[in-house]
């Protein structure tokens, strides 16, 4: 299988998903399902968002296996973040660094979609604003719509889009919900500058 399994062009860069860890230099963080944001560091720090300034064109990497990889392109800086349901519940979209970069464009990469994101009815205690979809006595949640509404509420002028790809439905992608895999999708953002 070719290592690049998905690619999407953005105004300031390119978003790609690799099936295995790419063999070029990139900046990454140790993701912990939290809301910390970090500039690149010589040592890998615990965070779920990483900032790229205009003077550093080194690619940014976020690992996922169903969570939302979200790239925000700002006026001078970009932020790439890992947003699972825990991070969204904690407020990763409310981090002050996002407001600081004045985001113009936002793209949500392949992640689990509402067709497959089964939740318990108690999910609404964490996300009261998410309408649960009931199918055959099971409940499903749409985190993409939740994230988009939150982002548009914070940044009404932003241009936002998503891949439309469900990592659980599409076997090209690793999915923890599908088979409890320890493998990850390596989402990489390449700045064009």
- pLDDT value, residue 1: 44
Residue-wise pLDDT for 166-188, tens only, equals: 999 999 999 999 999 999 999 99
**Is 126 inside any structural domain?**
no
CB atoms within 10 A of CB 101: 18
Please state the domain count of the chain.
1
CB atoms within 10 A of CB 19: 18
**Domain CATH for 61:** 3.60.140.10
Residue-wise pLDDT for 103-132, tens only, equals: 999 999 999 999 999 998 778 888 888 888
CA distance 2 to 184: 15
**Is 94 inside any structural domain?**
yes
CA distance 30 to 27: 11
**Is 14 inside any structural domain?**
yes
**Is 127 inside any structural domain?**
no
H or E element at residue 151: helix 143-154
**Is 21 inside any structural domain?**
yes
- pTM score, whole prediction: 0.95
Look at residue 119 and give its three-state secondary structure: strand
């Amino acid at each position: 299988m070719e290592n690049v399994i998905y690619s999407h062009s953005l105004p300031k860069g390119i978003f790609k998903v690799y099936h295995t860890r790419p063999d070029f230099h990139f900046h990454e963080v140790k993701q912990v399902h939290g809301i910390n944001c970090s500039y690149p560091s010589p040592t890998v720090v615990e965070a779920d968002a990483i900032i790229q300034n205009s003077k550093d064109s080194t690619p940014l990497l976020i690992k996922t296996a169903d969570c939302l990889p979200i790239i925000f392109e700002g006026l001078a800086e970009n932020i790439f973040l890992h947003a699972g349901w825990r991070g969204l519940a904690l407020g990763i979209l409310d981090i002050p660094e996002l407001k600081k970069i004045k985001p113009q464009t936002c793209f949500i990469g392949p992640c689990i979609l509402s067709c497959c994101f089964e939740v318990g009815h108690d999910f609404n205690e964490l996300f009261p604003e998410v309408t649960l979809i009931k199918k055959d006595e099971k409940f499903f949640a749409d985190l993409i719509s939740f994230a988009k509404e939150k982002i548009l509420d914070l940044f009404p002028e932003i241009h936002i889009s998503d891949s439309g790809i469900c990592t659980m439905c599409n076997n090209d992608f690793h999915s923890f919900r599908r088979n409890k895999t320890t493998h990850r999708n390596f989402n990489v953002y390449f700045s064009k500058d």
